[in-house]
């Protein structure tokens, strides 16, 4: 007979063994690099010459001497401020629409969801052509339907970020599916009870649907906040950060520093600031959650 503690020990060993791939990856590809990244951020290192220790010079330079750093912060936060709310409201509204009992609704769900699974270079190329100032379909339709002369979307400092925001809305179906699942998880008895109490559909929406969706909204908010700070491919393919650095997204700027100008130290310092920004965004969202996110389990 095995003793209880021996079985436990055996289970523990198997448990850690099964975790081994992740633990190894965590140490070698995550934790190690994070620490190394901070160390490199204190150096001047171009991968050819021996690194020179410069202390916090890279950080100082960033904040006080580098206008591009501020431009990239501005471009990225502008994009975030446009995309996160638009995407949230858009996805929620479409999900409400898709939750109606209509014939053929599954076909519509597929159509709305599909563009969100496309990404990468092909999509960026496709949208560069849509946004083409003279021959693109967007300006053509604006002219034909509304008589508006469309702007030079990707070629103007003013419109380049809104253009990329419009493009990101093409993927609104991804959020829609999440919200749709959230909506379908709301128990129907709640609506029945509300109807007996004489609630209007408007009241039902604000007192049942929205509160019960807040955990989904919260999840969507956190993931899209983290996502918008890491835009790279679109900017690299469509604008290269232009015109006049108006779409110099933060990660694009890190990439240029590291792999085009070989300023590894400076790039790591930039990356660390990004880390801090994302951390602050996420922590603030989490801290705000008790005030507006409703968890049913807490009441039990």
Partner 1 sequence: MVESKVRIIIKNTILYFILVLGSFILLIPLFWMISTSLKTPAQIFKYPIIWIPKPIVWRNYIDAFTAVPFLRYISNTIFIAFTSIIGDIFSCSLVAYSFARLRYPGRNFLFLLMLSTLMIPGSVTMIPQFLLYKRFGFIDTYVPLILPAYVGYPIWIFLIRQFFMTVPFEYDDAAKIDGCGYLAIYWKVLLPQIKPALIAVSISSFMHHWNNFMGPLIYLNSQDKYTLALGLRLFQGLYMTKWELVMAASTIALIPPALIFLLAQKYFIQGIVITGLKG
Range 86-125, binding partner 1 (CB under 8 A): 94, 97, 100, 102, 108, 110-115, 117-123, 125
- How many angstroms separate the CA atoms of 257 and 134, rounded? 34
CB 269 within 8 A of CB 41: yes
- How many angstroms separate the CA atoms of 161 and 244, rounded? 12
- How many angstroms separate the CA atoms of 42 and 269, rounded? 8
Residue 149 CB, nearest approach to partner 1 (Å) = 13
Binding string, residues 240-279; x marks residues near partner 1 by CB under 8 A: -----------x--xx--xx----x--xx-xxx-xx--xx
Residue 37 CB, nearest approach to partner 1 (Å) = 5
Query: Which contacts (CB < 8 Å, 24+ apart) does range 140-145 have?
Result: none
Interactions with partner 1, residue window 215-244 (CB under 8 A): 215-216, 219-220, 226, 229-230, 232-233, 236-237
140 part of the interface to partner 1, by CB under 8 A: yes
- How many angstroms separate the CA atoms of 76 and 15, rounded? 42
CB 235 within 8 A of CB 164: yes
Residue 210 CB, nearest approach to partner 1 (Å) = 16
Residue 158 CB, nearest approach to partner 1 (Å) = 22
Residue from the set 2, 4, 21, 188 that interacts with partner 1 by CB under 8 A: 21
Interactions with partner 1, residue window 29-68 (CB under 8 A): 29-30, 32-34, 36-37, 40, 47
Which residue, 59 or 275, has its beta carbon nearer to partner 1?
A: 275
Residue 74 CB, nearest approach to partner 1 (Å) = 18
Interactions with partner 1, residue window 153-192 (CB under 8 A): 170, 173-174, 177-178, 181-182, 185
> Which ranges of the chain would DSSP assign to H, the alpha helix?
4-25, 32-40, 57-65, 67-98, 105-113, 121-130, 137-141, 160-169, 172-184, 188-196, 201-204, 210-228, 233-238, 250-255, 264-292
126 part of the interface to partner 1, by CB under 8 A: yes
């Amino acid at each position: 007979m095995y003793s209880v503690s021996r079985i436990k020990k055996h289970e523990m060993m198997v448990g850690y063994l099964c975790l081994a791939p992740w633990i190894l990856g965590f140490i070698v590809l995550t934790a190690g690099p994070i620490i190394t990244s901070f160390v490199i951020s204190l150096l001047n290192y171009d991968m050819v010459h021996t690194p020179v220790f410069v202390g916090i010079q890279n950080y100082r330079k960033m904040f006080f001497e580098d206008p591009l750093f501020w431009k990239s912060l501005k471009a990225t936060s502008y994009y975030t401020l446009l995309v996160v709310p638009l995407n949230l409201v858009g996805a929620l509204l479409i999900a409400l629409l898709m939750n109606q009992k209509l014939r053929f609704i599954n076909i519509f769900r597929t159509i709305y969801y599909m563009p969100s699974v496309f990404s990468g270079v092909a999509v960026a190329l496709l949208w560069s052509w849509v946004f083409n100032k003279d021959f693109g379909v967007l300006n053509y339709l604006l002219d034909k339907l509304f008589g508006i002369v469309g702007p030079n979307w990707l070629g103007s400092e003013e419109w380049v970020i809104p253009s990329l925001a419009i493009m990101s809305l093409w993927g609104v179906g991804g959020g829609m599916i999440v919200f749709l699942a959230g909506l379908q998880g709301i128990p129907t008895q709640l609506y029945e009870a509300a109807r007996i109490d004489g609630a209007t559909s408007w009241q039902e929406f604000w007192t049942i649907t929205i509160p019960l969706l807040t955990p989904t909204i919260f999840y969507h908010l956190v993931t899209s906040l983290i996502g918008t700070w890491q835009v790279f491919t679109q900017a690299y393919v469509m604008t290269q950060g232009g015109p006049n650095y108006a779409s110099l997204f933060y990660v694009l700027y890190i990439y240029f520093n590291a792999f085009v100008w070989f300023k590894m130290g400076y790039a790591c310092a930039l990356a660390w600031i990004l880390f801090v920004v994302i951390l602050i965004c996420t922590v603030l969202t989490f801290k705000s959650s008790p005030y507006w996110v409703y968890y049913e389990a807490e009441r039990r």
